Chains A and B, each alone.
Chain A
Amino acid sequence: MSYAVEMREVSAYYFGEKKPAIIDVTLTIPINSLTLIVGPNGAGKTTLLETILGLLEPRRGNIRVLGHDIPREAAKIRKLCSYLPQDFMKPPGEPFSVKDVVAMGIASNREFGKLGNEDWKLVEEALTMLGIAELADRPIGRLSGGQQQKVMLARALVRKPKLLLLDEPFSALDEDSRRFISTSLLPKLIDSGCTVIMVSHDASFTPPRCDLTIRMEEGRIVGVVSHDLRSST
């Protein structure tokens, strides 16, 4: 098993749509790498991430994630993945506190029972890593957009995923936070064995180690640049 994601001629449709949202997508993403997905609005970037997780069932083609068939074994594989959605904002009335939201990342992986002390320690660590430990007890609905995005990133990280899917993780963040995440947090994560797939518009904050850039347009992959190859030739 050397690939984190393998897709072969995959087309996926949204419910009731005649036009596929992604068309004939074939790609392989090696384990322990960082992949950047770029492309204009409506290109199918979010759809690609959700198809990888099996949230959208492909009508054609096959998908393997971490060596397992999707969507057949999706429930099992999702426990090894984390997802940071593009639309993460919650209304002001949302009652859950920041640390509860982060803890959900762990709870989702448990069959039953309450979280123990070690779990709450992990939650605290994740919040500290992103510099929002002092927000732990605030209701998430009353935070700023950037703060909420960091909470959702903390939730993704606390699961210690093998595959991390980030949909525009910088959209609400300030420059310092973008720089910290792309130059320090993500590289460390990859060194520890994680595979990262990231959708981003902002090319100026590409992490120093970026193995693959995939360009999408109108549901198709129109370009793949492998940076390893480029530097060795």
Chain B
Amino acid sequence: MKLSTIAFTMAHAALAGSAMSLIFEIDPILLGGLFAILTAFIMGPFSDYLRIPLDSASMTLFSIYNALTFIFLMMAPGPTLASEKVGQILWGSVLAITPTYLLILFTLTSIYVSILYVFWGRICSILFDPKLAEAEGVNVKRYTYLLTALAGIVIVFTLRITGGFLVFSLLFIPSASSLQISESLKKQILTSSIIGAMASIFGVSLSFSFNLPVGSCIVIGAAAIFLAAALLSALFRRRIVEAIPLEQR
């Protein structure tokens, strides 16, 4: 819950950062990443010191970032809102998928998986009960920063394909669907990656065949899987209940 709030805000920070990079005509990844990671680091203290709930802090930042995005887009040189570059930042583009890009994504994934593998026990401990983990001597802050920084980097790279408006959906829907169908955390991580991959394949092929924006297609694919997962788990639960003899209910 808390992590998804942070990811949501980071995604929009990345969008604002990329929009700003249009003004200076530099690679959107640089400023997008900077914005996203800075957000991850300031959000906690921001809500702590001002004593506002994390949700409110997140919504405030989200609004600020959206406003900034449009200001930056207007300030960008060239014909406003018409250029291909603006479109790429807002809606994403298949053209972003280059061999270098795939290589970077692959490297990132390997880093993420190895971090999860090496620190699995302590990360579980933090996810289960951060205060108790802290009481047992785990450096909760360090791990949280590490994970959010990595999430920020992943968000910025995903941004290129899905565009700024949909990046959060691609992160959120697969994990929400995996919660519907799997019990343990390991299975949840695995199924959500598989769902994400399936949605992406579906979305990219849909986008190629009908010439539609790729990000939207991926998200619609993911949402379809989410509905299917929800239906499936509802059906299964009902069947489990039916399997229990009447007198034991």
Contacts and interface: CB of A to CB of B under 8 A. Distances in A.
Interface of A: 15-16, 50, 53, 55, 75-79, 81-83, 85, 90, 94-97, 100-101, 103-110, 112-115, 139, 159
Nearest to A165: B135
B132 A114 contact: no
B137 A108 contact: yes
Interface string B129-168: 1011111111100000000000000000000000000000
A103 B184 contact: no
B147 to A, nearest CB: 15
Nearest to A49: B135
Contacts of B117: 114
Contact of B139 (A75, A82, A104, A110): A75
B121 A159 contact: no
A16 B48 CA distance: 10
Contacts of A53: 135
Interface residues of B, number: 25
A112 B119 contact: yes
A122 to B, nearest CB: 14
Given A75-B139, A82-B136, A95-B188, A110 B183 contact: no
B137 A100 contact: no
A109 B185 contact: no
Contacts of B48: 15
Nearest to A80: B137
Nearest to B184: A95
30 contacts: A50-B135, A53-B135, A75-B137, A75-B139, A78-B137, A81-B135, A83-B135, A85-B129, A85-B132, A95-B183, A95-B188, A96-B185, A97-B184, A100-B124, A101-B128, A103-B121, A104-B128, A104-B133, A104-B136, A105-B136, A106-B121, A107-B124, A108-B122, A108-B125, A108-B133, A108-B136, A109-B136, A110-B122, A112-B119, A114-B117
B51 interface: yes
Contacts of B185: 95-96
